[in-house]
């Protein structure tokens, strides 16, 4: 049995406990969380740390299989430029280089206190690595096809690949983005039972131009890939109105990026009968579009926000703490809130709250120590670091 304490314990889903104590089994599973103001406890055998203890981080959006493209893509090209360069370079590496990059990226996440990942995959290259279960993965098997005639064949091919995954409960077939998946294919995807879904959403301003006017850089890029996009109908209200209605029966729908989401968009989604999670990847937003979502709007609307790193294609590190620091540097949001975004909410979205996301009796959620905190104002600083304790 171990007893650890810090200046504050952030459980992930409750108010911080000053000088709280976490009692653990040797394997990191929690026996009890003690608030010394409510239940006096001897501190003689307690290991005390400076800083904040919190649950292991949940990386709600990553592309592990693209890790080999680190430092290969230009910054601030906007999404169409980013995609164009990625397509040009993604097949210029050997299978061994790709696999080793994924192994290294997983180790980086582990060291940075990440315990679970919502990971995009376009093939099976990471399946064997994930089966070792160093981290918990929910794999989003991402597909795209804008030709209605190819919808069933595309879905069936993905379904066969899905069947080869080590755990059928930890994989979903998902759409890449509203502009890259036909309505017929979107409907097939949405019919999956117990679906945890993910979709790249509002990552570029030209996404709405695509649907409202059938124009813009993104539309032109997609039309060059497949002229069938010209047959799509216009939707005056924009991209969200195109795909949100399909996912009313999903257990969860992760809307990823939301860089250009506004109050009207948020109000539309919140009034739909769906379990929506707003996934923010701030460092990737700066890398690709050189701008950020309005985090205060998400906070003021009390949305279910989760945090992702995106891939090493669009980031220099896979570190949830760095994402939280970026948010903290750009918006006045309480530390308790952003830590919930990076822990509890992510676990809830991936349907793993039974094990992860919060410090509670009986769980083994991973335990992180955040050091170099502004304890007076309870804020992250540029010097804040994470140490994985369990």
Domain match, 270 and 293 both: yes
Question: CA angle 114-116-349, nearest 5°?
Answer: 120
Q: Which domain holds residue 45?
A: 1-55+358-390
Q: Summarize pLDDT for 137-165 with one digit per residue, the tens.
A: 999 999 999 999 999 999 999 999 999 99
Domain count, the chain: 2
C-alpha dist (Å) from residue 302 to 15, 21, 130, 255, 264: 16, 29, 33, 15, 15
- Strands lying side by side in the sheet with 136-143: 57-62, 114-121, 136-143, 171-175
**Mean pLDDT for the stretch of residues 2-17:** 96
How far apart CA 55 and CA 386 sit, in angstroms, is 11
Domain match, 337 and 383 both: no
Domain match, 67 and 112 both: yes
**Mean pLDDT for the stretch of residues 11-25:** 96
How far apart CA 356 and CA 37 sit, in angstroms, is 26
Domain match, 185 and 251 both: yes
**Mean pLDDT for the stretch of residues 50-58:** 98
For residue 385, pLDDT over 80 is answered with yes
pLDDT band per the 50, 70, 90 thresholds, residue 44: confident
CATH code where residue 171 lies:
3.20.20.140
Domain match, 113 and 130 both: yes
How far apart CA 139 and CA 71 sit, in angstroms, is 24
- State residue 179 phi and psi, 5-degree precision: -90, -5
Domain match, 295 and 170 both: yes
Domain match, 152 and 78 both: yes
CATH code where residue 13 lies:
2.30.40.10
Domain match, 347 and 370 both: no
Domain match, 12 and 105 both: no
Residue 126 C-alpha from the chain's centroid: 17
How far apart CA 330 and CA 254 sit, in angstroms, is 23
pLDDT of the residue at 359 = 98
Rg, Å, the chain Cα set: 21
Q: Summarize pLDDT for 60-79 with one digit per residue, the tens.
A: 999 999 999 999 999 999 99
Domain match, 161 and 33 both: no
Lowest model confidence (mean pLDDT) among 40-54, 65-79, 108-122, 172-186:
40-54
Q: Cβ atoms within 10 A of the Cβ of 238, count?
A: 18
- Strand (E) or helix (H) holding 118: strand 114-121
Query: How much is the mean pLDDT over the chain?
Result: 96
pLDDT of the residue at 6 = 97
pLDDT band per the 50, 70, 90 thresholds, residue 226: confident
pLDDT of the residue at 361 = 97
Domain match, 352 and 367 both: no
Domain match, 228 and 364 both: no
For residue 230, pLDDT over 90 is answered with no
- Strands lying side by side in the sheet with 47-48: 30-34, 21-24, 2-5, 47-48
């Amino acid at each position: 049995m171990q007893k650890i304490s810090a200046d504050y314990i952030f459980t992930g889903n409750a108010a911080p406990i000053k000088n709280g104590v976490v009692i653990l089994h040797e394997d990191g599973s929690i026996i009890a969380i003690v608030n010394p103001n409510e239940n006096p406890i001897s501190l003689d055998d307690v290991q005390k740390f400076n800083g904040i203890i919190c649950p292991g981080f949940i990386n709600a959006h990553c592309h592990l299989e693209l890790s080999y493209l680190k430092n290969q893509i230009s910054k601030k090209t906007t999404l169409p430029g980013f995609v164009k360069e990625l397509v040009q370079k993604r097949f210029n590496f050997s299978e061994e280089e790709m696999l080793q990059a994924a192994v290294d990226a997983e180790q980086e996440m582990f060291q940075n206190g990440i315990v679970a990942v919502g990971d995009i995959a376009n093939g099976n290259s990471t399946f064997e690595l994930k089966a070792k279960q160093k981290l918990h993965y929910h794999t989003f098997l991402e597909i795209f096809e804008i030709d209605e005639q190819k919808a069933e064949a595309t879905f069936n091919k993905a379904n066969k690949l899905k069947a080869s995954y080590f755990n059928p409960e930890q994989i979903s077939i998902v759409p890449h983005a509203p502009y890259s998946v036909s309505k017929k294919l979107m409907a097939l995807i949405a019919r999956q039972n117990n679906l945890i879904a993910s979709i790249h959403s509002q990552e570029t301003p030209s996404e709405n131009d695509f649907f409202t006017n059938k124009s813009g850089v993104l539309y032109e890029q997609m039309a060059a890939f497949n002229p069938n996009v010209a047959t799509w109908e216009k939707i005056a209200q924009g991209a969200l109105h195109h795909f949100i209605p399909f996912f009313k029966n999903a257990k969860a729908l992760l809307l990823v990026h939301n860089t250009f989401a506004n109050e009207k968009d948020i109000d539309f989604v919140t009034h739909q009968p769906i379990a929506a999670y707003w996934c923010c990847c701030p460092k990737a937003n700066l890398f690709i579009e050189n701008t950020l979502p309005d985090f205060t709007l998400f906070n003021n609307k009390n949305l279910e926000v989760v945090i992702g790193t995106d891939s090493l294609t669009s980031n220099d590190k896979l570190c949830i703490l760095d994402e939280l620091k970026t948010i903290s540097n750009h918006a006045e949001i309480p530390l308790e809130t952003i830590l919930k975004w990076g822990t509890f909410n992510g676990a809830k979205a991936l349907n793993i709250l039974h094990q992860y996301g919060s410090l509670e009796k009986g769980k083994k959620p991973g335990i992180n120590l955040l050091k170099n905190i502004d304890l007076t104002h309870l804020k992250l600083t540029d010097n804040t670091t994470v140490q994985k304790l369990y």
